A and B are shown apart, each in its own frame.
Chain A
Amino acid sequence: MIYSVFAPLIFALFVPWLSKHKDKIHTGIFVFFIPFIIFLYFIQFIGSDFSPIRETINWIPSMNINLDFYLDGLSLLFVLLISGIGALVVLYSIYYLDKSEKLGNFYVYLLMFMAAMLGVVLSDNVFVLYTFWELTSISSFLLIGYWNFKDRSRYGALKSMLITVFGGLSLLGGFVLLTVITGTTSIQGMIEQVDIILSSQYLPLALAFILLGAFTKSAQFPFHIWLPDAMEAPTPVSAYLHSATMVKAGIFLVARFSPIFAGFEGFFITVSLVGIITLCWGSYMAVRQTDLKGILAFSTISQLGMIMAMLGFGTEAAVFAAVFHILSHATFKGSLFMIAGIIDHETGTRDIRKLGGLFTLMPISATLAIFGTFSMAGVPLPFLNGFYSKELFFDATLSLEGVSWLSQAIPYLAVFGSIFTFVYSMYFFFGVFTGPKRFDRLPKKPHEAPFGMLISPIILVLGVILIGLFADKFNQPFLLHAAQAVNSGVEYHEVYFWHGFITPFIMSLIVIAVGAILYLTRTKWNKIYTILPGRLSFNRVYDAIVEKLDTYSKRLTNSYMTGSVRTYMLLILGTTIVITAVYMYITNGFIINLHDTAEVTGLEVSIVVIIIIASIATLFAKNNIAAILITGIVGYGVSMLFVIYRAPDLALTQLVVETVSIALFLLCFYHLPKLRKREESTGTKLINLFISIGFGLLIIMVGISAHSSNWFDSISSYFVENSYKLGGGDNIVNVILVDFRGLDTLFEIAVLGIAALAVFSLIRLKNKKGAK
């Protein structure tokens, strides 16, 4: 099981090599076998006596983060979708993507996504799940931006990334909270401690964080705006990521955590409400689209909303319906995306206003589209799985308890959303395949797609029909386990076509009747879109936020990145002063301890006073010579102190260095401009004074505290004892430098060497220029 998650990643390493030979053999043919083998491997687990499997590899055991993989009914459903649809999508892409495209990149991204998605649905450890979750966002970003020469692609890629990664971060916050509450990083472990979580005061916060992650990923209202722009990706990607798998990660997450949160009323209200609004808004907006993939994008949003709402209801019937619809939706929507891709490929446009009358030219695609769209619309025919989903959904909306206003409104909203679903489904089919033939307006002369391209949609449509005809055969061994993983109360539930004239069926009939009328009269009421949404659009909000963030962060950066070294110094020093002083104040860190200090003698005091006067005088020096000489006084004063404080080596070195330094200063002085009178305002002076005195005081306080406290024993005695024994020298300072810390001295010499080289080359450079 663990290998199946990493197999795509490992195989991706070989893809660049394989893609070098793409002229001879299409890279996709090799890639196809990866999801296909994974699919075959996992299909063996289907059966009525299935029980969950767990495998673990230690990763970061000290932080309780391990690669825990857990396969239960819910994971199995998703794994089969990811690998099954993955295989079909790769097969389809072989014909869709020309060999001139960057196939290597495409398949590496796709395999990366596949591994990440398998990781998301199989991880039991929340942090591992989060890692894979972000990896899906990143690979989705790369795939949407695959045609990176198009502006719209880059815009869509960035948008999806910003929104889903924002949600991902919030998800991480939710996971951290849950880990803190329960003390475990395992999801199953958290489910066992559901009582502790439900009684925790952090419950609403954790729920909000996790739902934010799920809603952004699954394109729920109002975060749905990234999905239509993601349609700039190549169609196989849209069919795979943005309809069948990645956008269902949010659904998966809610399903996975609903055993924990289902007992909390806020979960029911939020998830149901957001789901049902998304259902209505998505289907309402889909009717307005003119791009085939745009219709499908909004349709996906609306269907995801429907599944989300059912998970929010949380009743046995609703959970079963949700699981059933996850499977149905993947089949019919996947096939419709592929057909949209075929139409785009064969006619050169996806604009539904230009298309029409293609039935005679593309009979196979049209037949497939009939099944797909009618299933999506929920037309009551026994071989369309969409109808069963819709019946189960209506049934679930009718038996709700809990918050009364919401429970009563939901059935009406469900019918409302479904009416528009019917309208756009019809619009998709009839707008493309019937009506006036206007082939002269198309960029390409249309004809039926090559057979290879049709294989995948045919298989998916077969799925639609088989699930429709033998709905029950899929339930017992497969879907029931998935539903039970979400709500353990789900019992075997027979799904059959004819229930009699009960309420859900009547709701379906209303949908079809009203939907048909609306479809036929759609040109009359189309104006409604100028009122709602009209100019209201969440895209505007997103664009405004991104633009404002851009402007303001630029302005903020420019406000302190002025190019003036003085400003940088002021900022650095000011921050140091404030942080150190505040911390010292909080921890009560200032200590003064006067005992055990050396006595004060007149000689030392007079040297100290001389140094102080000289150092202050450097500020007032009027010309170069004076400034340099005064600096020299400070240096010689310090070497005097070294003599007094029993440091003969230091005193000697300081004297030599000081003399050479002054000589250097005087050499340069000839070339440097004269010291000018400082032209600065009193304000600047005061700020400079304030910062320098503040820093000086801080140094004094830190120094006194450090001197007065004795946290660690000195290591000096080691050097005193071993200087002769190990180093063979009497002068301890010298032995430390050349023996104990010999390597440091070596580097010190290297630094001096580099400085000398720099000085030399700086002077040489000038000569060259002068020669010109």
Chain B
Amino acid sequence: MEILIIILSGVLFTTAIYNLLQKQLLRIIIGTVLLSHGAHLMILTMGKLKTGLPPVLTEGVTDYTDPLPQALILTSIVISFGITGLLLVLAYRTTQENNTDNMEQLRGKSNE
């Protein structure tokens, strides 16, 4: 099953990068969202799947699922939420200011 999840995360990376390479801001944001999903699943598999009960201490239980990846992912979910929110507002402002959401038209000045 781990292999299958890794392949899933590879597919998520593929679609995320294809979206990132697009010109429209909304697609790029969707790309970053997919990218973080892929990364989370990847981290999760590194601690093996379904090796025990949820990592909440219970009497008489010795086998728990690896808690470490979960802690990492929890942090990551919150951070990627923050990034998504910021990117959305940034995209909104950029579109308002420049009247375009096309990355090819949003290049810097030629002589920077």
18 further A-B pairs in the complex, CB-CB below 8 A; given A597-B2, A678-B23: A564-B103, A566-B21, A597-B48, A599-B50, A611-B8, A612-B11, A618-B34, A628-B30, A641-B41, A653-B74, A672-B101, A675-B24, A692-B15, A707-B6, A720-B64, A724-B57, A733-B67, A759-B89
| Residue from the list B2, B44, B55 in contact with A720, Cβ < 8 A | B55
User: What's the Cα separation between A338 and B81 when bound, in Å?
Assistant: 73
Q: Are B13 and A763 in touch, CB under 8 angstroms?
A: no
Chain A 728-769 near chain B by CB (<8 Å), digits 1 or 0: 001111001100010011001001100110110011011000
Q: Which residues on the A side are within 8 Å of B79 (C-beta)?
A: 748, 751-752
Do most interface residues of chain B lie in helix, strand or loop, or is the interface mixed?
helix
What are 25 A-B contacts with C-beta separation under 8 Å? A564-B103, A569-B17, A592-B3, A597-B3, A618-B15, A618-B19, A624-B26, A634-B33, A638-B40, A645-B50, A646-B53, A649-B74, A653-B77, A692-B17, A696-B13, A699-B10, A706-B46, A707-B3, A714-B68, A719-B67, A723-B67, A752-B78, A752-B82, A762-B92, A762-B93
Q: Which residues on the A side are within 8 Å of B64 (C-beta)?
A: 720, 732
Q: Are A657 and B89 in touch, CB under 8 angstroms?
A: no
Chain A 674-699 near chain B by CB (<8 Å), digits 1 or 0: 01101010000000110111011101
User: What's the Cα separation between A741 and B101 when bound, in Å?
Assistant: 40
| Residue from the list B14, B26, B42, B48 in contact with A672, Cβ < 8 A | B26
Q: For the complex formed, measure the closest distance between the CB of B56 and the CB atoms of chain A, giving whole angstroms.
A: 5
Number of A interface residues, CB 8 Å? 99
Query: Within residues 61 to 112 of chain B, which ones have a CB less than 8 A from any CB in chain A?
Result: 64-68, 70-71, 73-75, 77-79, 81-86, 88-93, 95-96, 100-101, 103-104, 107-108, 110, 112
User: What's the Cα separation between A555 and B46 when bound, in Å?
Assistant: 45
Given contacts A650-B73, A653-B78, contact A730 B57 (CB under 8 A): yes
Q: Which residues on the A side are within 8 Å of B90 (C-beta)?
A: 762
Number of B interface residues, CB 8 Å? 85
Query: Within residues 4 to 56 of chain B, which ones have a CB less than 8 A from any CB in chain A?
Result: 4-27, 30, 33-34, 37-38, 40-42, 44-56
| Residue from the list A627, A673, A703 in contact with B6, Cβ < 8 A | A703
Q: Which residues on the A side are within 8 Å of B44 (C-beta)?
A: 641-642, 645, 647, 650
Q: Which residues on the B side are within 8 Å of A612 (C-beta)?
A: 8, 11
Question: Interface-forming stretch among A40-48, A492-500, A660-668?
Answer: A660-668
Q: Which residues on the B side are within 8 Å of A660 (C-beta)?
A: 81
| Residue from the list A570, A692, A731, A759 in contact with B85, Cβ < 8 A | A759
Q: Identify the B interface with A (CB < 8 A).
A: 1-27, 30, 33-34, 37-38, 40-42, 44-58, 64-68, 70-71, 73-75, 77-79, 81-86, 88-93, 95-96, 100-101, 103-104, 107-108, 110, 112
Q: For the complex formed, measure the closest distance between the CB of A148 and the CB atoms of chain B, giving whole angstroms.
A: 26
| Residue from the list A624, A707, A737, A758 in contact with B74, Cβ < 8 A | A737
| Residue from the list B18, B93, B112 in contact with A619, Cβ < 8 A | B18
Q: For the complex formed, measure the closest distance between the CB of A635 and the CB atoms of chain B, giving whole angstroms.
A: 7
Q: Are B71 and A703 in touch, CB under 8 angstroms?
A: no
Given contacts A600-B1, A691-B21, contact A671 B13 (CB under 8 A): no
Q: For the complex formed, measure the closest distance between the CB of A688 and the CB atoms of chain B, giving whole angstroms.
A: 5
Q: Which residues on the B side are within 8 Å of A565 (C-beta)?
A: 103
Given contacts A646-B53, A762-B90, contact A707 B13 (CB under 8 A): no
User: What's the Cα separation between A762 and B74 when bound, in Å?
Assistant: 27
Given contacts A594-B3, A634-B12, A696-B14, contact A766 B93 (CB under 8 A): yes
| Residue from the list B45, B95, B103 in contact with A671, Cβ < 8 A | B95
Q: For the complex formed, measure the closest distance between the CB of B53 and the CB atoms of chain A, giving whole angstroms.
A: 6
User: What's the Cα separation between A724 and B67 when bound, in Å?
Assistant: 14
User: What's the Cα separation between A673 and B25 when bound, in Å?
Assistant: 9
Who on chain A is nearest to B109 by CB? A563
Q: Which residues on the B side are within 8 Å of A562 (C-beta)?
A: 107
Q: Which residues on the A side are within 8 Å of B15 (C-beta)?
A: 615-616, 618-619, 692
Q: Are B75 and A707 in touch, CB under 8 angstroms?
A: no
User: What's the Cα separation between A604 and B104 when bound, in Å?
Assistant: 40
Q: Are A634 and B1 in touch, CB under 8 angstroms?
A: no
User: What's the Cα separation between A642 and B73 when bound, in Å?
Assistant: 11
Q: Are B71 and A733 in touch, CB under 8 angstroms?
A: yes
Q: Are A672 and B93 in touch, CB under 8 angstroms?
A: no
Q: Which residues on the A side are within 8 Å of B88 (C-beta)?
A: 664-665, 667-668
Q: Are B27 and A634 in touch, CB under 8 angstroms?
A: no
The 8 closest A-B pairs by CB, nearest first: A696-B14, A563-B107, A700-B10, A692-B17, A732-B67, A755-B82, A703-B6, A736-B71
Query: Within residues 534 to 573 of chain A, which ones have a CB less than 8 A from any CB in chain B?
Result: 562-566, 569-570, 573
User: What's the Cα separation between A695 and B100 when bound, in Å?
Assistant: 29
Q: Are A649 and B70 in touch, CB under 8 angstroms?
A: yes
Given contacts A594-B3, A692-B14, A762-B90, contact A657 B77 (CB under 8 A): yes
